[in-house]
Structure 1
């Protein structure tokens, strides 16, 4: 039976090599020559046959992107590798394994080679059993990552082109009042929801209802929509300013004539915009708060990467020391407590010189990162790359190795029993002892705590459903609530911004 020599990945001659053939094809690649499942299968089988390798199993992931690690067949193969069932992983092309440089190198270096399993990619004509092949892995992975970035860029260009042609981009959240028809790439009026949209515009423009009163009215009537029930007043502001309802398509801040039917007339929409622009318009029937009551969006989650202290919202004058100068302006910033010396109890290192951040710059960056989470697969991709290993993972691996050792001892005892080389009574005692040991180890594994993120993926996606409306039209408190729910902390070190997500 083949095992890589001393973990080097070098093939040992005259040994049976058990091959795990991995095949992946995304939905877009199904029809491409050479990429189909039958084509890859034929290629892998022929390659094994020519080298007298045994094809242990074909691990096939149909319709899965190479940008993510959460693929059922891939995970099964990794599990079999750790069980010692595979000696060599074979793929048709490097990007079948992954399109991410980081993931590719992780699989080869931290999974395959550490378990003394070689890796061969047919198309690139290299394998990790040679020094040259191991050196080439890093280089070829760079190109796999580049291809993924190019795919993302082409996707964005395609979505922009669809918007220019008046078709809904088909990503993100479909507006209330419409359903998305993927066959025609167009929005189709949902009459029940459209009725609610028309009523919202009428109550706002003609009956002078505040946002909260409209939401309360809809809740009392039992109205609902595809995204749930009416819960946020910010959703109303977003709806009332959304040109989709007059037959326009918006993409990246630009709007184009759409091919879908409008729900309201342009005259009613313009009246709503005029009312929204009025200086004294308010979100609720309550008196407006003083602007000084507003809090910074990111205060409470910002930490200094130099001294470990907190950042807080502050401000300073720029442009001129002359208070009467037209160049003098007040600028909102985030600053480390240690640097500003404003609260002695908050200072971690008096010599800290970590930079101040313009509030607008940092806020916009974080909001952009949150909006990007709505892209398909983005949350899962972040989890695969950034979620820390279970704190008890090393302990679990050690215990699982003990179970494997016990299973091998049991297997040897059963072989001796069949050969009648050892008295039955002695074998019974040994088996009883090994069984007790195995049960003890299994109980120890069950007691190892599993890593649990603060926020589930389902809850994160639920929060993100309203992100666009909240960031465009919500109150400061609504924006803060969303940010603080999704983000555990943000670490600032010089120009670097590291976001620790609550779902990772």
Structure 2
């Protein structure tokens, strides 16, 4: 008796379009087995809602494992496209089947025969056309979706929290204020667990930390999707979104129970990687009697890649309290420099705006002169081209993500006095609200990059 494997597969669109259901396939295969006297069913393998172009299918993998264990003599499926729609995958799998002397049959297409050279060649050609059809369908779908995105239309019925679908477009609904509060809460606390608890207690909405992370990273909340920067009406500002996602990148999951103030902020200047945090005990020099004093553990930062030669040459260790002292002495100076820099940029931007407006006015006057036949077409084109060229040379004005007043506020207060009253978590959040990155090199030089 031949041990047969019944393989059944359907993709969701195939079932909806042609009614090629799992039940219909199984009924067809069972009827075929009943009509044969030398076949028994070893097992039924069902892949539901999976494309034939994918090789990684759960039940298909189980089937191949049984083939390798020599538990199957014959594989039955209804049609060839239920088996594969990729020629490369088909040929690789066929090689495995031949090694274990396993044949197959499409019971609704009995003219396919794997036992002859002619039959194998015929099947290869058919598989080539099946693969081409699948790829063309995929390309058409991608083109349709790209056009929908360009027009600002949704491509599925799933909507992010705070949005509804109206006239095929995403529009903020009555939950939009909740989304904004989620962003603001995380921006203040930089803690996914706290944000999840806040969402449940304040609004009765239960979301796990992974779902909240994905929500906070969703660019639709600033109106951006794929290549369309005006895809939908935003709910949060770009500055808030960037601040939140900057902190998400810093908050790498850690098994340590100790909280480190500068975790995620410190970068090794030598290799460009984030620096590792840890705790270390220090000892005094040995006394004459051989004893020495053991000091309490202190928080330290180092580059773990320095011990994986030759990945990094920075073997220096930076103590957390030393870094705090350095920052507290340097930050007031840097803040004042930042304020002056932003003010200077604003003055330059004002000058740019004035030049831009003056050139635009000249273009309008030039146009009026041409329309009133004061100047000819050649003169108009030449002068307009010159003005447009000057206009294009003016650099684009960028709005700073943080207002000058925030830097000025911190620059004018006594940081040392207020800093002593903060908890470890508050100190951590304080530095993240001001500092974009801190670099440390093998010469123990510390560089601070403000937001």
Q: TM-score, normalised by structure 2?
A: 0.42
**Structure showing greater Rg:** 2
Which has the bigger relative contact order, CA under 8 A and spacing at least 6?
Answer: 1
Q: TM-score, normalised by structure 1?
A: 0.38
